Amino acid sequence: GAVVSQHPSWVICKSGTSVKIECRSLDFQATTMFWYRQFPKQSLMLMATSNEGSKATYEQGVEKDKFLINHASLTLSTLTVTSAHPEDSSFYICSATAGTRLYNEQFFGPGTRLTVL
Amino acid sequence: DAKTTQPTSMDCAEGRAANLPCNHSTISGNEYVYWYRQIHSQGPQYIIHGLKNNETNEMASLIITEDRKSSTLILPHATLRDTAVYYCIVRVANRDDKIIFGKGTRLHILP
């Protein structure tokens, strides 16, 4: 149980285009989802916290108009990278919390590798 | 900033126990110690967590000192598949509490 999926697993796009990444909790309802970004040989950096039905809370330095987050249901959150540029190339990871039954561990998706040409 | 300090890297021989230390001297009374690991190009994987008692599951054991200022994650019989970056994190066991990752420990299992 407590499986989180991401789609796509990798994507290559041209500079200036927008890319949408989906994060789904497959076997539980996740009221809270988190989005992280990870550059090569670095640790995960939290970008934003997403609660179902409300606006996401962004970490300092993360542009909310560039990284659009939508958490429309208890099993789906999406991250859209708008007008992507090569410096946005990174490994994007989402996570979801499973509630008190599982001690609120965060379960992580497998990640999406974005390459912007 | 992360609330924990860990060695940058460690080596361990395959089949031996891997002991990964973590210091969290500013831990609060309601904060748990969590361990995650990240295998290359994958998302982090939950390993174990504890409050003050030692914990064991099918993956590892967690030993927390009596003053809770440090802990050790033990992988009893390390295999090559345990090569990963291991993150020690302190957080409140609240579903909205975000995780701030430090640099973690890069564990190399040597054949």
Task: Decide if B96 and A106 are in contact by the 8 Å CB cutoff.
Answer: no
Cβ within 8 Å, pair B41-A111: yes
The structure tokens listed for A97 are 């919390």
| B93:A51 CB<8 A | no
Confidence check: pLDDT of A28 > 70: yes
**What letters, b where the CB count within 10 A reaches 16 and e where it falls short, cover A74-111?**
bbebbbebeebeeebbbbbbbbbbbbeeeebbbbbbeb
A103 CA to centre of own chain:
22
**Across A81-86, average pLDDT:** 96
CB atoms < 10 A from the CB of B2, how many?
Answer: 17
For residue A32, name the pLDDT band (cuts at 50, 70, 90): confident
At A47-76, the pLDDT tens digits run: 999 888 888 999 999 999 999 999 888 899
Number of Cβ atoms within 10 Å of the Cβ of A70: 15
Report which of A6, A29, A49, A24 is spatially closest to residue A99, judged by C-alpha positions.
A29
- Residues of chain B with C-beta less than 8 angstroms from the C-beta of A90: none
> How far is A83 from A67, CA to CA, in rounded Å?
10
Give residue A105's pLDDT: 73
For chain A, say whether B40 makes contact (Cβ under 8 Å): no
Tell me the two tokens of residue A9.
């697993």
**Taking CB atoms and an 8 Å limit, are B43 and A45 in contact across chains?**
no
Average pLDDT by consecutive 10-residue portion of chain B (111 residues)? 87 97 94 93 92 94 96 97 96 75 95 92
Are the C-beta atoms of residues A30 and A49 closer than 8 Å to each other?
Answer: no
B42 in contact with A, Cβ within 8 Å: yes
Residue A72's pLDDT is 82
Q: Indicate the burial class of B80 (C-beta count within 10 angstroms; 0-12, 13-18, 19 or more).
A: exposed
CB B52 within 8 A of CB B28: no
- Measured between CA atoms, the residue of chain B closest to residue A40 is B41
Lowest mean pLDDT among A30-39, A76-85, A97-106, B28-37: A97-106
Please give the backbone phi and psi of residue B80, each rounded to the nearest 5 degrees, phi first. Answer: -60, -30
pLDDT class of A1 with cuts at 50, 70, 90: low
